[in-house]
Amino acid sequence: MKILVFVKQVPDTDDVALDPKTGNLKREGVQSMLNPNDANAVECALQLKEKFGGTVCAISMGPPQASRTLKTVLGMGCDEAYLLSDRAFGGADTLATSYTLSKAAEKIGDYDLLLCGRLATDGDTAQTGPALAAWLGLPQITLASSLAVEDGWVICDRKLGDMRQRVKAKLPAVVTVTGDLNKPRYATAMGLMKAGKKPFFTWDAAAMEADTSKTGMPGSPSSTKGVFEPEKRTTDTKYLSGEMVDIVKELVDSLEAEHLL
C-alpha cells in the first residue's frame, strides 16, 4: 500500500497571541508540536504498513520550521516526507490549504489511502480532510474511530453520540480519524537518527504546478473581520470540609449569597 498522511505543526501551548490585522495566530517564539489527531493518523498508517507492507508518505504545509514535525513522524516510522513551503501559501483558510495539499497528492500519485486527523487544535474546523477529498474527487469517511482495509475497501466505525455507524469506501479514499482510533507511538532515538537518511522533499507552488490564485490568502474565500482575545480572569476557589450535611448547608448558603439559587 501507498499511504499519504497529512500532518500539521500546531502551537504547544494555550498561551498564544493573535495578529489583529490578519486574525492569524502569531507563531513566532511559540513552541510547536505535532497536531494530536494527526499523530493518530500517522499511527494508523504505520500499523497498515506493518500489516500489508508499502510506503507511508508524510505531507505538511507550513514555514520551514514545520520540517521539525515531519522529522518527528519520520522518526516514528514514516518512509518519506514532503514539506509544502512557499510564501504564496501563507494565510490560507481550509479551502486554500486543502487545494495545496491536493496538488501535492497529485504530484506524488499512485496512492491507495489518504489519512488526516479529524481536526487541528489551532483551528478546530474539521474541514481540511473533507475538502481535500473534494479537490481529488475521492470518496471520504470522517470521524473514524476504527479502520480496516479489506479487498480494496476501507471499513470504518464512526461514533455519533451514543450511536455507532459502520461505513466503507472504495480505495483510494480519504479518511479523517479521531483520538479514539489508537495510541500513537513515540519517535525513538534510533528512529530519529534514521530519519535524517530518509527522503525529504521541499516543494513550492511551482514544483506542484499549483495555481497561486487558489493558494494562501488569494485562494481563501473566508476572512476574519475582527479578532480579540477573551479577557483573562482569575477566580477564588473555596474548599469546603467537615461533615456532609455541614458542607451542603454551607454550599447552599454561598449560592444564595451569590443569588444563584
The rounded distance, in Å, linking the Cα atoms of 115 and 206 is 25
Q: What is the pLDDT of residues 137-190, one digit of tens each?
A: 999 999 999 999 999 999 999 998 889 999 999 999 999 999 999 999 999 999
Cα radius of gyration rounded to whole Å, the chain: 22
Assign 81 a pLDDT band (cuts: 50, 70, 90). Answer: very high
Q: What is the pLDDT of residue 34?
A: 94
Closest CA to 128 of 100, 157, 163: 100
Domain-wise residue ranges, the chain:
2-208
Instruction: Compute φ and ψ for 18, nearest 5 degrees.
Output: -115, 145
Q: What is the pLDDT of residues 209-248, one digit of tens each?
A: 999 999 999 999 987 776 666 677 777 788 888 999 989 9
SS3 of residue 40 by DSSP: helix
Give me the mean pLDDT over the 6-16 stretch. Answer: 79
In CATH, the architecture of 2-208 is 3-Layer(aba) Sandwich (3.40)
pTM: 0.82
- Evaluate if residue 27 carries a pLDDT over 60: no
C-alpha grid cell, residue 58:
508524510
Residues 178 and 145: beta-carbon distance below 8 Å: yes
